[in-house]
């Protein structure tokens, strides 16, 4: 290729680019590109990015201390004297009150410098009512003022006031998020492994049918070849996520649906890669083996198989890598793996948890990427 023809060619492509401008205008509009939204929305993205660097990995055990006292509302008769307590104690300004009366609660002997909160257990009702928060001082004392909620008067009777302190103690251990993430990442990797294996096993025989040089040139052979190749091309164009939606209806939500969806996609992609590899084999050794008087089975075993094993293994490892990526998202539609948890965490705006999952994905996918590259290098 001379230098001149090179630039003549590029001139032609420049012309093509000019023709592409209307296409771009249409695309810009259809894709709803809106840079204003991007900039105005930036504050919403702030917590995402700041939490991305603070994934939830470790947590300490949480300790809860609760001390209670009895209060009568409305005040129709004096309440029984509280038994004298050891350790942390609550002192109330009054134990018999009416609605909206003011109540001063003070405590002593608590854990110093710890946040806490008051709760009401209302007589005759389930659950408890949230009230004022407080924090203990350096001596473990606190004082907090609150109003009696009207609900207490409505119900009537002896109600329990609880002062509850929560703090972290004990050794660091993997947080609940991390444990879930590890569980789901194991599932993700195995999901990909099973799908690659099943897909590969089905793709191997199919790939022989899809290799022009291995199929006889009879009308039947050609028809079968065209049919297999069309199946590869069509099935390959449907993303595994779409297949997973369908398999989730078939076998229910869970990793099995994901395995099936990825398997079908793997059959198609690997089938295509395999048959192309089979088409590229050197006919020389086959000819040589045949000339020794070997039968067809022997020709395949000694002439074809040794030539296709390295590319087949290399493509399979490569596809496992791709399947791991896919199975990180297949949970979005109920196909198992980390996807479901990740989507849940993002939807509930638990960005720390989401960050844990994202970093786990990055780690595993990069490791797989690296490992598959090494394996493929060794094989060639």
Partner 1 sequence: MERAERVPQPAPPNGRRLAPLLSLLFPGAGHIYAGRQERGLWIAVTAATLLTLLWWLKFWSLLPALVPFWLWNAWETRTIVQGRRPSTVKLVLSAAIIVYAIGWRVTEIDVQRLAAGAQKIRPFVVSLVRPYYVDREVTYAAFPAPVQVPCGEEPSPPPAGAGSGPTIVPTPACASVGETITVRGEGFPPNVEGELWWENPIGDRVRLRSGGEFVTFVADEQGTFEVKVTVPDVVPRQFQESAQLHTVEARYVRDVGPWRLTETSYLVAQRMGETIAQALMATTWGAIFAVPLSFFAARNLMQFHPLALLVYYLARTALNVLRAIEPLIMAIVFVVWVGLGPFAGVLALTMHSIAALGKLYSEAIESIDPGPIEAITATGANRVQVVWYAVLPQVLPPFVAFTVYRWDINVRMSTIIGFVGGGGIGFLLQQWIRLTDFRSASAAIWAIALVVTVLDFFSRKVRERFV
Partner 2 sequence: MLEVRKLTKVYDDGTVALKEVSFTVPDGEFLVIIGLSGSGKSTLLRCINRLIEPTSGQILWDGVDITAAGQEELRRIRRQIGMIFQQFNLVKRHTVLTNVLTGRLGYTSTWRSLLGLWSREDRARAMRNLELVGIADKAHNRADELSGGQQQRVGIARALMQEPKLLLADEPVASLDPATSHSVMKYIEWMNRERGLTVLCSLHFLSLARRYGTRIIALRAGELVFDGRPEEIDDRRFKEIYGDEAIEVEIR
Which of 145, 147, 168, 287 is the binder for partner 2 (CB under 8 A)?
287
Q: Are 340 and 331 in contact (CB under 8 A)?
A: yes
Q: How many CA atoms lie within 13 A of 337 on its CB side?
A: 34
Q: Are 199 and 266 in contact (CB under 8 A)?
A: yes
Residues numbered 35 to 54 that lie near partner 1 (CB under 8 A) are 37-38, 41-42, 44-45, 48
**Could you say which DSSP state residue 96 is in?**
B
Q: How far apart are CA 77 and CA 93, in angstroms?
A: 17
For tokens 């490791």, what's the residue?
Answer: 367
By a kind-dependent CB cut-off of 5 to 8 A, residue 31 interacts, out of partner 1, partner 2, none, with: partner 1
Binding to partner 1 by CB under 8 A, coded x per residue (else -) over 319-348, reads ------xx-xx--xx--x-----xx--xx-
Q: Are 120 and 129 in contact (CB under 8 A)?
A: yes
By a kind-dependent CB cut-off of 5 to 8 A, residue 285 interacts, out of partner 2, partner 1, none, with: partner 2
Angle at 13 between CA 10 and CA 16, to 5 degrees: 160
Interface with partner 1 by CB under 8 A: which range of 86-94, 120-128, 229-237, 285-293? Answer: 229-237
Q: Which tokens in the block code for residue 263?
A: 């398997």
CA distances from 355 to 4, 55, 86, 342 (A): 53, 5, 45, 9
Min dist. Cβ of residue 227 to partner 2 (A): 23
Binding to partner 1 by CB under 8 A, coded x per residue (else -) over 260-289, reads x-----------------------------
DSSP string covering 307-337? HHHHHHHHHHHHHHHHHHHHHTTGGGGT--S
Which of 96, 153, 202, 294 is the binder for partner 2 (CB under 8 A)?
294
Which of 104, 306, 349, 362 is the binder for partner 2 (CB under 8 A)?
306
Q: How many CA atoms lie within 13 A of 312 on its CB side?
A: 23
Which of 18, 32, 78, 84 is the binder for partner 1 (CB under 8 A)?
32
Which residues are near partner 2 by CB under 8 A? 282, 284-285, 287-295, 297-298, 301-303, 306-307, 309-310
The site for partner 1 (CB under 8 A) is made up of: 3, 6, 10, 13, 23-24, 26-28, 30-34, 37-38, 41-42, 44-45, 48, 182-183, 186-187, 190-191, 193-194, 197, 233-234, 237-239, 241-242, 245-246, 249-252, 254-256, 258-260, 325-326, 328-329, 332-333, 336, 342-343, 346-347, 349, 358, 361-362, 365-366, 369, 378
């Amino acid at each position: 290729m001379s230098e001149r023809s090179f630039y003549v060619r590029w001139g032609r492509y420049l012309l093509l680019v000019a023709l592409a401008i209307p296409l771009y205008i249409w695309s810009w509009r259809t894709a709803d590109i809106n840079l204003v939204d991007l900039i105005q929305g930036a504050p919403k993205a702030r917590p995402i990015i700041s939490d991305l660097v603070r994934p939830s990995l470790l947590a300490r055990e949480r300790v809860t201390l609760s001390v209670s006292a009895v209060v009568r509302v409305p005040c129709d008769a004096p309440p029984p004297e509280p038994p004298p307590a050891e350790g942390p104690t609550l002192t109330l300004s009054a134990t018999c009150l009416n609605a909206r009366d003011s109540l001063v609660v003070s405590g002593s002997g608590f854990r110093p410098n710890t946040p806490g909160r008051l709760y009401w257990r209302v007589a005759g009702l389930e659950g408890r009512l949230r009230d004022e928060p407080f924090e203990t001082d350096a001596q473990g004392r606190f004082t907090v003022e609150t109003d009696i909620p009207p609900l207490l008067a409505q119900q009537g009777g002896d109600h329990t006031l609880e002062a509850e302190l929560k703090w972290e103690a004990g050794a660091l251990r993997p947080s609940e998020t991390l444990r879930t993430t590890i569980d789901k990442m194991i599932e993700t990797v195995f999901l990909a492994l099973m799908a690659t294996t099943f897909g590969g096993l089905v793709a191997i025989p199919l790939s022989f049918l899809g290799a022009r040089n291995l199929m006889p040139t009879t009308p039947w052979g050609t028809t079968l070849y065209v049919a297999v190749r069309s199946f590869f091309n069509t099935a390959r164009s449907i993303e595994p996520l779409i297949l997973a939606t369908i398999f989730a209806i078939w076998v229910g939500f869970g990793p099995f649906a994901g395995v099936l969806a990825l398997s079908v996609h793997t059959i198609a992609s690997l089938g295509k890669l395999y048959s192309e590899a089979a088409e590229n084999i050197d006919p020389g050794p086959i000819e040589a083996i045949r000339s020794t008087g070997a039968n067809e089975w022997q020709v395949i075993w000694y002439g074809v198989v040794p030539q296709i094993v390295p590319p087949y293994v290399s493509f399979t490892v490569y596809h496992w890598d791709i399947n791991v990526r896919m199975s990180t998202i297949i949970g979005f539609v109920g196909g198992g793996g980390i996807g479901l948890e990740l989507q849940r965490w993002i939807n509930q705006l638990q960005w720390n948890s989401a960050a844990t999952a994202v970093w786990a994905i990055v780690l595993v996918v990069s490791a797989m990427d690296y490992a598959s590259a090494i394996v493929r290098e060794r094989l060639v």
